[in-house]
Amino acid sequence: MSASAAYARPLVAPAPSPTTHPHIEIVTTREQRRARPKLAYAVVTILSLFLIFAAQLMLSIVVSDGAFQIEALQQQQKELLRTQDARSESLNILSSSQNLAMNAAHFGMVPNPTPLTLNIHSGAVYGSPGTADPMGCGGNCNLITNSLLAGMPLVDPSATSGNAAAPVVASPSAPQTDPAPTPSTALPAPVTR
């Protein structure tokens, strides 16, 4: 054997030329292309999310508006209850026995110290008839005074004789002048003779 046979020549691969690149492309299968999400699905998903957020925003606006309306109505109810309480208190003051006695005395009525009692079933009259003392208390016969009636005007007797539906009040210390206008919510008084 020769010395040249002991050494093998290495095989040298030809150098690739810079102009020729091998083009390698991975081709997807039909199943892989079908499994990929499509753009339409993504658009529909995003639009549905925006619609859900918009509906939630509109719902919260409507709920908060309803809460403000409820609060306003509750405030209005409180004011109406206060007005009702004030008017019922004023009605209680006007319907008190002290106010009725003062107005009766202003009309010229006097209390009778000896009242008579009538039994409805038998028709019998109990008590001894007496005369009322016109100068007995001078029209100020309230045994229990009511401080709430201090500035309360009295009913004017000359104005109620002609027009019973519109009572006119007169102050006990002021001279009689033109009748005061009556409120439109006043209840008409019955005509008595």
Per residue in 140-153, pLDDT (tens digit) is 555 566 777 777 77
Nearest Cα neighbor of 179 from 170, 191, 189 is 170
Residue 59 lies in a domain: yes
Q: Is residue 105 part of a domain?
A: yes
Average pLDDT, the chain: 75
What confidence tier does 4 reach under pLDDT thresholds 50, 70, 90? Answer: low
Confidence of residue 103 (pLDDT cuts 50, 70, 90): confident
Residue 29 has pLDDT above 60, yes or no: yes
Burial class (CB in 10 A: 0-12, 13-18, 19+), 110: middle
d(CA 28, CA 19): 27
In this structure, the answer to whether residues 91 and 104 fall within a common structural domain is: no
Average pLDDT over residues 2-28: 70
Q: Which residue has the higher pLDDT, 162 or 20?
A: 20
The pLDDT-based confidence of 171 (bands split at 50, 70, 90) is very low
If asked whether residues 109 and 74 sit together in one domain, one would say no
One domain for residues 113 and 78: no
Q: What's the CA gap between 128 and 125, in Å, rounded? A: 9
pLDDT at 160 over 90: no
Q: Which residue has the higher pLDDT, 165 or 13?
A: 13
Across the range 93-122, mean pLDDT stands at 81
Q: Which of 26, 60, 95 is the last residue of a domain?
A: 95
Which pLDDT tens digit goes with each residue over 68-99?
A: 999 999 999 999 999 999 999 989 888 888 88
Domain that holds residue 110: 99-144
91 and 39 belong to one structural domain? yes
pTM for this one? 0.42
Within a domain: 88: yes
Note whether 135 and 123 are same-domain residues.
yes
Note whether residue 47 is domain-resident. Answer: yes
Domains identified in the chain, total number:
2
Residue 33's pLDDT is: 75
